[in-house]
Structure formats: structure tokens, C-alpha cells
Amino acid sequence: MKRNQPKIKIISSGKYVPETIVTNEDMEKLVETSHEWIVTRTGIHRRRKASQETTSDMAYMAAVEAINRVNYDKSKIDLLIMATITGDQMTPSTANFIQAKLGLDHEVMSFDINAACTGFVYGLEIASALLATNRFRAALVIGGEILSKIVDYTDRNTCVLFGDGAGAMIIEPSDDPKDTAYFFNAARGDTNGSLTVKRFIEMDGKKVYQFAVGAMEEAIHKVLDESGLSIDDIDMVIPHQANERIIQSVAKSTGIPMSKFMLNLSEYGNTSAASIPLTISEYFDSHEVKGKKILLVGFGGGFTWGSAILQL
């Protein structure tokens, strides 16, 4: 049965990354590893690390960049969704803190979601569905993480992978058929704990890799089938920036050229829920985006995975 698809107007995008850069050479001083080993297996050269910033600080700065990019009237924002696994505290939600820092003192529905690295794509679908009710004027969807506070810097298999950052997007409801958005989001109960966070991130790299390649391939095919589009209709694929080898395997299995994937993981590493929106913002920075179609695809702990096709 064909589902009703939400129509959303992509208004703006923004990002924030901390100033502190942690290079692979810096990691060599902490654990038994090497620049060559990290690059060969992940594609990562450096990552950012928060010093004084909180997660809500970084999310706020990403939101401000999105607002300022188009001189947006922030009083129109009445829905704020924050995707994170490293919120400021248990409660109130990090979204509430962002709302206060933005000075949104009118009635706003604000809440956090946790779908790990797929969180931003989950958040976009939730926001799009809520906008379709005609109860909200505009949504601010953010992904932000300070993964450095949950990384074990004695575990060489995980500590080299992760970085800190935030990305934001402003969307509004639309009546224009060309603004139809398509989503596929799912999860598979992870009973063996292949990717978990108790105090620190723990990961079975081999199992995660195997899951990621299959999940991303499926998510790409699902959202293309749902939309009736082919990969030729897509201007850019923006994947979760976890590991360059994973993305290369997905490109090979789907027949999509690597040139169609936008990558920045060499600069930022895996920033979990911030990964996709941060990359979208860099796409806005480096391309003429009006009229372009982008395909978002991600996977994360849970195991979660998902995809979206958006008209910019």
C-alpha cells in the first residue's frame, strides 16, 4: 500500500565543530597505533574534541549558523528535535537547553531522541510527520555529540574513530509536490551488544562492519523504491561518516560511484548523530544546492538504520 509522504521545504543548514583538533599523530601518543594504520582501515586523519563546550552549546551554535545563513525568523520555530546519545544530562532534555539558549520563549515542542548514528534521519522523519499535521510552522532538527566523553582512550580499536560536533537543519511544511520527502527507518534488536555504551563505547568492529554494509545497501534501495527514483536522479549521497571502507563497500555493492558520496570523515571522524547534518551543512557551503536531490543513509547502535531523500 502506498503511504502518504510528507512534503517539507528545506530552509537552511548549519554546523559547529570544536576548535581543538586531535590528529592521528596525537593518538599515537595515547595508544599503540599509527597514522598509516588508522588511515588504511578507516580513512580518518583527524577529529575534533570539545573542551569547554557542552552538547547543547555545540547544537546551539549549529542552529545559529542555520538561522543566520538565511536570516531566518527564529520565532517561527515551534518544534525542536535533538538527536544525541551524549546529552548534557538525563533531564531536562538537551533540546530544552537549546531552546533556552536560542531565546525561543514562545510555545515550542522540544525533545531528544536516541537512535545513535541514525538519530538525525529518525529526527527528520518525526519532524516531517509532525509538520504534516499542520500544527507546527517550522522545525529545527539537530544532531550533536560529545563522544570524547564516552571514549576509552586506552582502547585503540575505538578511541581513534570518534569525534565531536553538531549539525542542524530548519524545515517547514510545504504544499508543493516537488518537496515530497521519502524515508525508510528501521531497527533490529541488538541482543549481543555489538555496539554499546555503558560508561565507554564498546564495539565488535567486525560485526558492526558486516551489519553496516548490508543495512546501508538495503536502506538505499528501500528509499529509492519508495520514491520511484533511480540513483541517477540523486545529486549527492550523504552517508553516515563512520568508516571509508564501509562506504567503499556500499558503493561497490550498489554500483554507485564513489564520486556521488560526500565524505568528510577524514577531518571529523565518526560524530554519531552529528555526522549526517554536519555533512549536509558542508554540502550547503560548497555547492549550489537549490533544486538538488540528496539521499541520506545511516546506521548505528541498536542496531538502527535508515535513509531519506530530500529536495533542496
- What is the per-residue pLDDT across 20-35, written as a single tens digit (0 to 9) for each? 999 999 999 999 999 9
**Amino acid 200: pLDDT:** 84
Catalytic status, residue 192: no
pLDDT of residue 2 exceeding 60, the answer is no
- What is the per-residue pLDDT across 22-71, written as a single tens digit (0 to 9) for each? 999 999 999 999 999 999 999 999 999 999 999 999 999 999 999 999 99
Q: Return the bridge partners of 46, or none.
A: 23
**Amino acid 194: pLDDT:** 66
pTM of the prediction?
A: 0.95
Q: Going from the N-terminus, what domains does the chain have, and what CATH number goes with each?
A: 1-312 (3.40.47.10)
117, 159, 185, 243: which is the annotated catalytic residue?
A: 117
**Amino acid 4: pLDDT:** 75
**Amino acid 1: pLDDT:** 45
pLDDT of residue 302 exceeding 60, the answer is yes
**Amino acid 59: pLDDT:** 98
24, 185, 240, 243: which is the annotated catalytic residue?
A: 240
Q: Return the bridge partners of 113, or none.
A: 83
- Residue 204: DSSP 8-state: -
Rounded Cα distance, 242 and 298, in Å = 9
Q: Is 234 exposed, middle or buried (0-12, 13-18, 19+ CB in 10 A)?
A: buried
Which range among 136-140, 141-145, 270-274, 286-290 shows the weakest confidence by mean pLDDT?
286-290
Catalytic status, residue 159: no
What average pLDDT does the chain have? 94
Report the residue count for the chain.
Answer: 312
Rounded Cα distance, 300 and 295, in Å = 17
Catalytic status, residue 240: yes
Rounded Cα distance, 166 and 61, in Å = 8
Average pLDDT over every residue of 229-234: 96
pLDDT range class, residue 252, cuts 50, 70, 90:
very high
- What is the per-residue pLDDT across 73-129, written as a single tens digit (0 to 9) for each? 999 999 999 999 999 999 999 999 999 999 999 999 999 999 999 999 999 999 999
**Helix (H/G/I), strand (E/B), else coil: 53:** coil
pLDDT range class, residue 197, cuts 50, 70, 90:
confident
pLDDT range class, residue 179, cuts 50, 70, 90:
very high
Only one residue has cell 520511484, namely 228
Q: Nearest-CA neighbor of 139 among 148, 149, 128? A: 128
